[in-house]
A = this chain, B = another copy of it.
Amino acid sequence: MSDRKLDPRAVSGEARAGRRKERKNVKLGALDSHLGYYVRRFQVWVFQDFIRTLASADIRPAQYSVLTVIGANPGLSQSDLADTLAIERARLVHVLDKLEKRGFTERHPSPNDRRSHALHLTPEGQKMLKHLKALAGRHEAHLIETLGEDNYKSALGIFRQFGDQS
């Protein structure tokens, strides 16, 4: 039986420590000195928590990113959105198809470029985004609680700075 699928919020520190003891003593070897290994583990955990917290709205991280950036930049072109989020064009089209089908986004012909589309949220999309932001706030609060406030702030500072450079 595995208890690793439990919501970590439901597991006390004591229970967690006990579980650690039960685990086989497997050495990580050189992985222990790779930041990428630990960042990947953390990123997977964050996405799982995000998906769980937004499950009632059935919205995935990429969909949330797309809705948020369109909401903050009405009329944005698909190519600028793809560049901003570093999403491949084909994948973005797929995400937009899904959001459009649910009535949250619209593609209008661009006033500047016939080959491009200007992206907008529908009124329904704006309402949904407001709801999603509230749920995403709960996810973020859980993240702060899990890492501790100082660690959270340090990590956000480091990676934000990196995001500006990359």
Instruction: State which of B27, B71, B84, B155 has its C-beta within 8 Å of the C-beta of A158.
Output: B155
A28 contacts partner chain B, Cβ-Cβ < 8 Å: yes
Interface size class of A (residues with CB under 8 A): 35 or more
Instruction: State which of B8, B69, B76, B154 has its C-beta within 8 Å of the C-beta of A31.
Output: B69
Is the CB–CB distance between B26 and A69 below 8 Å? yes
A 38-78 contacts with B by CB, 8 A? 38-47, 50, 61, 65, 68-69, 71-73, 76
Q: Give how many copies assemble into the complex.
A: 2
Question: Which residue of chain B has its CB nearest to the CB of A50?
Answer: B36
A113 contacts partner chain B, Cβ-Cβ < 8 Å: no
Give A contacts to B, CB under 8 Å.
Answer: 4, 8, 16, 20, 23-24, 26-47, 50, 61, 65, 68-69, 71-73, 76, 80-81, 83-84, 86, 133, 136, 139-140, 143, 146-147, 151-152, 154-156, 158-166
